[in-house]
Amino acid sequence: MGVEVSRLSNGLTVASETLPHIESVALGVWVKSGSRNEREDEHGIAHLLEHMAFKGTGSRTAWDIASQIEDVGGEINAATSVETTSFFARVLKDDVPLAVDLLADILTDSRFDPSELEREKHVILQEIGAAHDTPDDIVFDRFTEAAYRHQTIGRSILGTPETVASFSPEQIHSFMQRQYGAERMVVVAAGGVRHEDFVREVEKRLGSFRAKAPGRVPQTANYVGGDYREHRDLMDAQIILGFEGRAYHVRDFYASQILSMILGGGMSSRLFQEVREKRGLCYAVYAFHWGFSDTGIFGIHAATGKEDIAELVPILLNELQKAGEHIKEDELKRARAQYRAGLMISSESPASRAAQIARQMLLFGRPVTNDELMDRLSGVNVERLTDLSARLFSTRPTVAAIGPVGTLASFEGIASALPTDQTAGRRLAV
């Protein structure tokens, strides 16, 4: 049957996919607004809003929200990302009306009670502290801050202790009014759901939601690259080496995804085999590519001991250089197979499928079939990948490192060892 899509009179998009033989339904509301939509004095407010949505409405207390969904064996949660915020639930198919009502209630009638707000601020301050105490978490925040210095897209989603402590109920309400409008939202369900019934429930509860939100469009991202190092007396070091990637809509986006799999997407990947299996220089290494609406970032994360840092980084750089010179056909086939398997496996999970549909609707305005995605991947060949590698890894790098990183090569040394348009690259001495 595929994905069915309807649009309400206020511009709200409603999409669903029936998954045969599944008795549960994953559903939620996704809003095209995240941490990069915040003003300078609102750092962390999108995440705080997500927390406060479950702390009571005009007709339900926080206990009511939690108990009503769990009385039917369901669950409810939310998440904030750089560009979206989502509120979602998982219930048995007969309880979809209750889940829609709960989600609509927190979006239309949250009270942001001052006493609840103070408690939740305390929780988030603990979360910020826990992230700071977890090097393999906080290194990613420092990485994006260096890559997009002084830009909202590069800031931590959690905010800072100072900004979080400063927020009032009025500020949270104002942010929601500015950012949450039907034309920037999608309501999605996947599982044992009938589209007509789902649309009727959403229309009943969100059909009168404000059509537009006056919030400004986020500033255009500008990848700048840079260096961040934090010396800590730890047993191991967390290191990320990154480059400017590709946005979702750019031709090379899918090629970048494939390249990340070839370099560090599994146990058969180049980095895992060369760095971990052959040389034993780290206990974890992988590559990733994050796409956003107008930019992207390609990175390699490695976790290693102090004594192996000096040898590890030149090996990583050497592997990047070799990717720009030669990629094998069997590597490409394996990466395509990994991508396809990931799509198929996620399609069997109602929660994963609902989230995938929501992302596609927000980014492209329509659902994208797995066959279409595989067609896009089929256009990626080894010549295109080597060309992309040569261009990708000649951009200004981003380096983020936390731990005993005194022996890590200088930023200038790393940058000079990368290939450029004029040279095949200079290697750091091992």
For 281-304, give the DSSP string: --SEEEEEEEE-SS-EEEEEEEEE
CB 99 within 8 A of CB 89: yes
Instruction: Count the residues in the chain.
Output: 430
The pLDDT value recorded for residue 421 is: 54
What digits encode the pLDDT tens for the residues 308-360? Answer: 999 999 999 999 999 999 999 999 999 999 999 999 998 899 999 999 999 99
pLDDT category of residue 217 using cuts at 50, 70 and 90: confident
pLDDT higher than 90, residue 408? yes
Average pLDDT score over residue span 408-423: 82
Mean pLDDT over residues 60-87, rounded?
97
Q: 3-206 and 226-416: same fold? A: yes
pLDDT digit string, tens, across residues 165-201: 999 999 999 999 999 999 999 999 999 999 999 999 9
Q: Which of 77-81, 127-131, 230-234, 424-428 has the lowest mean pLDDT?
A: 424-428
**Cα dist. 123→5, 78, 126 in Å?**
38, 15, 5
**Per residue in 96-134, pLDDT tens?**
999 999 999 999 999 999 999 999 999 999 999 999 999
Average pLDDT, the chain: 94
Amino acid 215: pLDDT: 81
Q: What is the pLDDT of residue 420?
A: 67
The residues, any chain, with a CB within 8 Å of residue 419's CB and separated by 6 or more, are 320, 321, 324, 390, 393, 394, 425
pLDDT at 399: 98
pLDDT value at residue 296? 97
Tell me if 19 sits within 8 A of 192, measured CB to CB.
yes
Whether residue 1 has pLDDT greater than 90: no
> Rg of the Cα trace of the chain?
23
Q: Could you confirm whether domain 3-206 is CATH 3.30.830.10? A: yes
Residue 429 above 70 pLDDT?
no
pLDDT at 252: 94
Q: Determine the CATH number of domain 226-416.
A: 3.30.830.10
* Whole-number Å distance between alpha carbons of 362 and 356: 10
The residue ranges of every structural domain in the chain are 3-206, 226-416
pLDDT surpassing 70 at residue 152: yes
CA distance 414 to 128: 31
- Strand locations in 59-184, DSSP E? 75-80, 85-92
Of 95, 109, 97, 100, the closest CA to residue 53 belongs to 109
pLDDT (mean) for 232-255? 95
What residues are labeled active site?
A: 50
Rounded CA-CA distance 296/306 in Å is: 30
Q: Residue 36 pLDDT more than 70? A: yes
